[in-house]
Homo-oligomer: A and B are copies of this chain.
Amino acid sequence: MAKKPPNAISSEDRLIARHFVPLASHAGALKLTDDAAMFTPPAGHDLVVTADAIVGGVHFFPDDPADAIARKALRVNLSDLAAKGATPAGFVVSLALPRSAGEPWLKRFARGLGADAEHFSCPLLGGDTVRTPGPLMVSVTAFGTLPSGAMVRRAGARVGDHVLVTGTIGDAALGLRLRQDPKSSRRWNIPGAALRHLERRYLLPEPRNALAFAVRKYATAAMDVSDGLAGDLGKLCRVSGVAAMLDVARVPLSSSAKAVLKADGKLITTILSGGDDYEIVCTVRPARLAAFMAAGRAVGVPVTDIGRVVRGAGASFCQPDGKVLSFARPSFSHF
């Protein structure tokens, strides 16, 4: 090995300079040349912090496009900020790279990450790159800000509140099913465009940051739907000390999911408990329902009223025949 002067730039630093420094537009990132970053919320504001990691073969397919993996890693965190009513402010990323992730892969990964950092006004503040003999792992910690005390919690739902959910539910869970078992598409017998819609919804979540302000203004409780609507709503009810009665028929479904359900009605439990939706579920007092719905329309985020908060425990999904749906596994869990 050739002798190098002690001021030679290490290959890790070169990798960071080439791919990640261009994303570190925030002054506090110090161009990624320091041990740490500086970030200070504006006066009168709280910092909201969330951390979510994704692992190859667990949360995404190792052959997913590098830019989609990067964007998913950031977006699952942005979704948490949105559900809390916070405005994205920045993020740090720890990246564990297998040898297979070479220069072209990194270039594409950084391009995807940079595109979303810009789109969501959430600049890269810092991070770490390490080698791993295992699968790729992207661990993001994201920061948001909001006026002091304004964070919307899971605890806060009150009896009588309406339960609202954004977008459509179940697409990603069906998209995952398609990726895991491509033969499903033949059984479901739905158009190619519908299949691609479901797969795309699994590949790349659409966090509802546009609605954060309205959540902050109108919701009594909120969370992002990542482990399945049924289980996540169960968690919200538990910490709020209430129950929720939901109407299966009112849960918003895409035309693709409706077509799948027509072919196999049993998939309703997959739709309601499969996870990876990255929609927001929240509770709103009846007097503020119209204003919240209008705020959703104003920012182009569909919002659907799916039921009410009641006394008791647990989230129950009522079918059109009046029976309550039961789940083998209401909430997605790797454990």
Taking beta carbons and an 8 Å cutoff, which residues of A are in contact with B? Answer: 1-15, 30, 33-41, 43, 45-55, 57-59, 80-81, 83-84, 86, 92-94, 96, 125-135, 137, 139, 141, 143-144, 148, 151, 153-155, 223-224, 227, 230-231, 233-235, 237-239, 273, 313-317, 326-335
Contact B328 A54 (CB under 8 A): no
Q: Which of B3, B223, B313 is the one whose CB lies under 8 Å from A326? A: B3
Q: Given A6-B234, A12-B333, do A81 and B36 touch, yes or no (CB 8 Å)?
A: yes
Beyond A36-B84, A38-B49, 14 additional pairs, beta carbon < 8 A: A5-B327, A6-B230, A6-B273, A7-B330, A10-B333, A30-B153, A34-B84, A34-B223, A35-B224, A37-B48, A94-B94, A94-B141, A132-B134, A133-B135
Task: Tell whether A36 pairs with B7 under 8 Å between CB atoms, given A55-B130, A133-B134.
Answer: no
How far does the alpha carbon of A328 sit from the alpha carbon of B1 in the complex, in Å?
Answer: 6
Q: Is the CB of A227 within 8 A of B34?
A: no
B141 in contact with A92 (CB, 8 Å)? yes
Copies in the complex: 2
Closest to A134 in B: B134
Q: A35's closest neighbor in chain B, by CB?
A: B80
In the complex, A153 Cα to B129 Cα: how many Å?
A: 20
Residue of A7, A46, A135, A227 ringed by the most chain B CB atoms within 10 A: A7
Do A49 and B35 have beta carbons less than 8 Å apart?
Answer: no
What CA separation (Å) do A38 and B124 show in the bound complex? 20
Of A36, A38, A331, A334, most buried by chain B (CB within 10 Å of CB) is A36
